[in-house]
Amino acid sequence: MAGEVFPDDFVWGAATASYQIEGAVREDGRGSSIWDVFSHTPGKVANGDTGDFACDHYHRWRDDVGLMRDIALPNYRFSLSWPRILPLGTGRIEQKGLDFYDRLIEELLENGIEPWVTLHHWDLPSALYDQGGWVNRDTCAAFVEFTDIVTRRYGDRVKHWITLNEPWCSAFLGYVHGIHAPGHTNLKEGLQVMHHLLLAHGLAMPVIRANVPDADAGICLNPTTFYPYGDSQEDLDAAIREDGLRNRVWLDPLAARGYPDDMVDLFREIWPEVGPDDLEIIATPSDFIGVNFYNPTYVEAGNEPPLFSRKIDPPNLPRTDMGWIVEPSALTDLVTRIHTDYGEIWTKQYIFENGAAYDDRLVHGKVDDRQRARYIHDHLAALYKAIDDGVPVKGYFVWSLMDNFEWAEGYARRFGLIYVDYKTQQRTIKRSGRWYAEVVSGNELIAPD
Ligand code: IFM
């Protein structure tokens, strides 16, 4: 397929997150985060990898902005490290932490690159975790304090604000499945964390508006499309339950519909404490809904509580290095569904993350990652189809700008448009990075090979 010309104002970008790229975890007064503790706990991260050095972006930020310019990147999404700015989560501000992002923002703007800032991409200050972390309602107030400080400081230059990245991961991977920090396995806690994250988002929105009146602000979720594996009613019901916990428990309250009845019923015994005004706060209007998408999920009916479903990967579909199935049409289905079901609430969707991990090799100074370019191409084609059908998707960010610390998978999984040699910290623009630069510059989808 060729010839897909995107709308003139379409936003093209690439994304990263603080703990995944910065390193310098003990420099300039930065406090500890739950990911420092988790990654240093034996057995939690593949190969014992940690974010201690990561891509050393804290020192190489200027060169990294240069690389963004080399691939003609007009927009860059990154997150702020909360413990770099508030080492204890609240109270004392670390000036050097604030200065770091000032320099980065200035450099981006001088190079014509628009900053898109995520306030919280999982690196919660350990001091807050010690007081209960996201299970403790007070963490919402701490998040508001952090939001206030950074939006006052950068709001004259940063206009795009994303409150939270993928709160489903913080709540369920972090507190229920135990595979992300802080590594708990407690469903009741996970549900309370879900509610507090939504509440923190709702409380932060008016603060962003007050400090940055012309802000474009919202939250970024990782919803996905669930397909029943078979034709039975049981498989369909299992898909509906999965959709409830991954998609509707987030989207419905944000869209002022409250928590979905089927989920409240399913988890009745352990449903979180919800204050009298909480749902109204969570439903504070936002400017967009951010969507991170990698793969759909197929499910059939199963025996395991609480969702009584089993995930099945159809054997005919290709997979990335993460083992995730590749099915781009699911992205068309997802953004179309969000528009159909929630279109009167959000008239803008942004794809804030999409991309793939492949086993890249640096050979004679080159990385020939045509599989990644193909993955991105096919997802952009799927997105174009939805846009052409009237779905208001206004932008697309590749995950990721560069290879980085892939959480529990450590450095073994590479998602970047730019290859990072972690021993030398040398960067090499991959074939996909050069191809993406051409797409962005022409505002048109071109064949990757
Ligand atoms: O690396 C992560 C990112 O931090 C959040 N979204 C998914 C990516 C790939 O797993």
Contact 135, 129 (CB under 8 A): no
Q: Return the CATH fold of 4-445.
A: TIM Barrel (3.20.20)
Looking at ligand 1, which atom is closest to the CA of residue 322? Answer: 10
Q: Is the CB of 252 under 6 A from ligand 1?
A: no
Expressed in angstroms and rounded, the spacing between residue 269 Cα and the centre of ligand 1 is 32
- In 3D space, the residue among 314, 310, 421 whose CA is nearest the CA of residue 365 turns out to be 421
Q: Which of 400, 409, 417 to mutate to test the pocket of ligand 1 (most atoms within 8 A of CB)?
A: 400
The residues, ordered by sequence, that sit 6+ positions from 404 with a Cβ below 8 Å of its Cβ are 16, 17, 20, 21, 54, 55, 411, 415, 416, 420
Query: What pLDDT sits at residue 89?
Result: 98
In whole angstroms, what is the distance from residue 404 CA to residue 20 CA? 5
Tell me the percentage of the chain whose pLDDT exceeds 70: 100
In whole angstroms, what is the distance from residue 93 CA to residue 198 CA? 25
Nearest-CA residue for ligand 1 atom 9 is: 406
How many beta carbons lie within 10 A of that of residue 340, not counting itself? 9
Q: Which of 292, 375, 397 to mutate to test the pocket of ligand 1 (most atoms within 8 A of CB)?
A: 292
Q: What is the pLDDT of residues 9-52, one digit of tens each?
A: 999 999 999 999 999 999 999 999 999 999 999 999 999 999 99
Contact 181, 173 (CB under 8 A): no
Q: What is the pLDDT of residues 267-310, one digit of tens each?
A: 999 999 999 999 999 999 999 999 999 999 999 999 999 999 99
Q: Is the CB of 353 under 6 A from ligand 1?
A: yes
Q: Which residues pair with 301 in a beta bridge?
A: 309
Looking at ligand 1, which atom is closest to the CA of residue 404? Answer: 1
When pLDDT is averaged across residues 70-90 and rounded to a whole number, the result is 99
Q: Determine which one of 4, 242, 327, 353 is catalytic.
A: 353
Omega before residue 306 within 30° of 0, cis: yes
Q: What is the pLDDT of residues 391-411, one digit of tens each?
A: 999 999 999 999 999 999 999
By DSSP bridging, strand 11-15 and strand 393-399 are parallel
Q: Determine which one of 94, 107, 166, 406 is catalytic.
A: 166
Looking at ligand 1, which atom is closest to the CA of residue 415? Answer: 9
157 falls in which pLDDT band (50, 70, 90)?
very high
- 327 labelled catalytic: no
Nearest-CA residue for ligand 1 atom 1 is: 406
Domain boundaries, the chain: 4-445
Expressed in angstroms and rounded, the spacing between residue 265 Cα and the centre of ligand 1 is 31
Expressed in angstroms and rounded, the spacing between residue 408 Cα and the centre of ligand 1 is 11
Expressed in angstroms and rounded, the spacing between residue 123 Cα and the centre of ligand 1 is 13
188 falls in which pLDDT band (50, 70, 90)?
very high
Q: Which of 165, 319, 353 to mutate to test the pocket of ligand 1 (most atoms within 8 A of CB)?
A: 353
Looking at ligand 1, which atom is closest to the CA of residue 121? Answer: 4
Query: What pLDDT sits at residue 111?
Result: 98
3 falls in which pLDDT band (50, 70, 90)?
confident
Expressed in angstroms and rounded, the spacing between residue 402 Cα and the centre of ligand 1 is 12
Q: What is the pLDDT of residues 220-243, one digit of tens each?
A: 999 999 999 999 999 999 999 999
Looking at ligand 1, which atom is closest to the CA of residue 400? Answer: 1
- 406 labelled catalytic: no
Expressed in angstroms and rounded, the spacing between residue 234 Cα and the centre of ligand 1 is 31
